[in-house]
Chain A
């Protein structure tokens, strides 16, 4: 321990101020010059610097607040507390209802996923539309294809069955017109009737076109909604899986640490013996 063998003025206060760099430039220069000649002060300054080094290692307990984790759990959204199976069931139910509303028909073949909507035409025979049932216009007016990666591009297929139904209707109307032309009516009347039927046919086509466009819009909207909800559910499930994996990793880490700690203690105990 340092013995008091130095008579430097205000020695203790000067050493402390020197240690914490609170000496003005002039006094600092003086004391530095003194240190070159005084081993007592030099040793003491070095010793007190060592104390400061040790003090830097004094850490308050690391407070990893359990309150914060409790608070973060309590802040979780209500839906995070619903079991995963219930969330999946809800998503499927929503998808089913959406499909029902849109009267969706979903097929999966080599061309990818195909979704078709519209009023169903259950009476269509194996011979194709119009082969056996000519009583009405096919109401299956449009189809949409959803490619891989949930691509929601929507558009009428080239072989849509409603086109053949429409062609059959056109042929039927023409046949009736021809029959009327060969009948007993006046030529003038026949020309007038022909003109009127052509106008009717044009109107039917316009109405069908408008109906098709409206349904395309509705289907695009519903498919987008379904895709969005499925994606949202997927994100939730991924987060849940991440969270669970994190807990498992933490548990494993703690177990490993406990074992290492035990081994260390055993090793130290064996060293002492």
Chain B
């Protein structure tokens, strides 16, 4: 399964997730393909930000869709398809963290591949700006890696996936106030850590 943002025209594109799920259950493989195309990037991003390893995030993403496909006949629409998918992915991330018994690993800067770096650049962006952007991204990544898994997950779901407090609470199975507290604590730690780094210090109050 490839991890890429795909924007090809498809007759399935205008259907809702729930319609595609219903068609998939009836055996329409193309509908499930459309669901994968629609959600593989967010799921990969969630996995990467939670566990911090590119290859493992890809594995988690693939396993998420594999499990979703197998469990699809049992999906009765109690929750949104995306929430159901997030739950599967988060459980897999937790399993990975427990199995590895370590905090997320931030990949060293030496891993930067010039080809990928070039591909990630904006058309009008100079190489200096691009390197600076990558540096900033790594600083934030390192700070996030310091957070406990619960706080990191809450921040990732809120900040990058736009879930409401209630949706996060439902997803991870804890009270609303706990989610808010985790967010507050996580953001506070990040604020302290980012203030220490010269790259981000100037923008922190």
Contact = CB atoms under 8 A, between A and B. Distances in A.
Contact of B137 (A1, A48, A50, A57): A57
A96 interface: no
B140 A54 contact: yes
A55 B78 CA distance: 32
Interface string B21-61: 00000000000000000000000110011000010011000
B180 A51 contact: no
A67 B2 contact: yes
Interface centre among B48, B180, B185, B195 (most CB of A within 10 A): B180
Given A62-B120, A64-B119, A50 B2 contact: no
Contact of B4 (A47, A55, A68, A254): A68
B131 interface: yes
Interface residues of A, number: 39
Chain A binding surface, main DSSP class: helix
B117 to A, nearest CB: 8
Chain B binding surface, main DSSP class: helix
A231 interface: no
Closest 5 CB pairs of A and B: A62-B120, A58-B140, A13-B180, A12-B184, A65-B4
Interface of A: 1, 12-13, 15-17, 19-20, 22, 43, 46-48, 50-65, 67-68, 71, 253-254, 257-258, 260-261, 264
Given A56-B159, A57-B140, A257-B117, 16 more contacts: A13-B180, A15-B184, A16-B180, A20-B158, A47-B205, A54-B136, A57-B136, A58-B49, A58-B137, A58-B144, A62-B119, A62-B120, A64-B4, A253-B118, A261-B131, A264-B131
